[in-house]
């Protein structure tokens, strides 16, 4: 076969772009990315390498622009907006609920003041909202999956629990002191935006729009094929039984996740504005979303 023919065949191969997609190893994220991770939907010329890390590690690596597409906390977005834009799907909102503050015993109305409170990372939204609620406390940075144990053993006076800890804290003999999502709703009448997915601004616009459509398609596929997506996601649930995993996914993968909508985008902006006004964020900024 002439070499010129081989060269033409090679040139005809479709071009593929590989992107590193990072998210947390949790039931809700696994559910959200099920269709992409298991190739249930076509991705055209894009391929994804999935990386699983805890949310604070993802926040820190996003500061360096390590991953092309990454889950981030909305608190962290205030430090990342020059590197990343928010994708229009994939957010976690707590609509009247959210991260919980737990302790071994009841605390009064000002019970967190001056207390050692275990938090899952300084760039998490839980940390930001906790300080909006009570600025005069002593934060102790603890990996999110160790917070319940730290509080139960008395190593911290209280702790902010995220992920499945919001449903399992009672198993450690702990009591809910405060639901930060409930407090936020009472304060603003808005859902609490916890985290979203973002894409590096250096990626070309065409690819960015394709990623946005694929992420939304993956979420829609999971919602429409709930049973199989839950079966896949449960392996990331750190001991959650099927009904509890289903409940947790329902809390954080829903219509808000499929699309922020005007109210969801407003909630993100109000959170950023409140953080800046209280001196907890480095600058005032406008949340920017990719448009499909």
168/123: higher pLDDT: 123
Which residues are catalytic, by number? 163
Tens-digit pLDDT profile for residues 143-202: 988 999 999 999 999 999 988 778 889 889 999 999 999 999 999 999 999 999 999 999
pLDDT of residue 109: 58
pLDDT of residue 204: 96
Q: What is the CATH number of domain 100-188?
A: 3.40.190.10
248/4: higher pLDDT: 248
- Name the band, by pLDDT with cuts 50, 70 and 90, for residue 108: low
248/272: higher pLDDT: 272
In the chain, domain spans: 17-93+192-277, 100-188
**Residue 6: pLDDT above 60?**
no
Report yes or no: 271 and 183 within 8 Å, Cβ to Cβ: no
- Name the band, by pLDDT with cuts 50, 70 and 90, for residue 8: very low
Cα→Cα distances 144→62, 64, 156, Å: 18, 22, 13
Superfamily of domain 17-93+192-277 in the CATH hierarchy: Periplasmic binding protein-like II (3.40.190.10)
Q: What's the pTM value of the predicted model, to 2 decimals?
A: 0.91
What is the spatial distance between Cα 13 and Cα 16, in angstroms, rounded to a whole number?
9
- Name the band, by pLDDT with cuts 50, 70 and 90, for residue 226: very high
pLDDT of residue 4: 41
What is the spatial distance between Cα 188 and Cα 268, in angstroms, rounded to a whole number?
12
Question: Cβ-count burial of 99 within 10 angstroms (0-12 exposed, 13-18 middle, 19+ buried)?
Answer: buried
What is the spatial distance between Cα 160 and Cα 204, in angstroms, rounded to a whole number?
38
17-93+192-277 matches 100-188 in fold: yes
């Amino acid at each position: 076969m002439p070499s010129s023919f081989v060269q033409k065949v090679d040139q005809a191969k479709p071009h593929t772009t590989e992107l590193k997609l990072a998210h947390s190893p949790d039931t809700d994220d696994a559910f959200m990315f099920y269709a992409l991770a298991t190739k249930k939907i076509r991705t055209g010329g894009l391929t994804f390498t999935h990386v699983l890390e805890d949310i604070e590690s993802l926040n820190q690596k996003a500061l360096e622009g390590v991953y092309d597409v990454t889950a981030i906390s909305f608190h962290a977005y205030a430090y990342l907006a020059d590197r990343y834009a928010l994708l229009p799907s994939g957010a976690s909102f707590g609509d009247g609920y959210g991260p919980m503050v737990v302790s071994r015993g009841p605390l009064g109305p000002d019970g967190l003041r001056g207390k050692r409170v275990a938090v899952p990372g300084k760039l998490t939204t839980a940390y930001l909202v906790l300080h909006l609620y009570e600025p005069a406390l002593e934060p102790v940075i603890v990996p999110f999956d160790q917070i319940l144990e730290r509080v139960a053993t008395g190593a911290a006076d209280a702790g902010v629990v995220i992920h499945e800890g919001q449903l399992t804290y009672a198993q450690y003999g702990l009591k809910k002191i405060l639901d930060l999502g409930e407090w936020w709703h009472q304060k603003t009448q808005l859902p609490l935006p916890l985290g979203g997915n973002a894409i590096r601004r250096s990626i070309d616009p065409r690819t960015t729009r394709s990623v946005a459509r694929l992420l939304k398609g993956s979420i829609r596929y999971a919602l429409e094929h709930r049973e199989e997506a839950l079966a896949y996601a449960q392996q990331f649930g750190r001991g959650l039984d099927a009904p509890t995993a289903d409940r947790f996914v329902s809390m954080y993968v829903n219509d808000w996740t499929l699309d922020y909508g005007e109210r969801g985008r407003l909630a993100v902006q109000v959170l950023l504005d409140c953080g800046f006004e209280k001196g907890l964020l480095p600058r005032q900024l406008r949340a920017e979303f990719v448009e499909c």
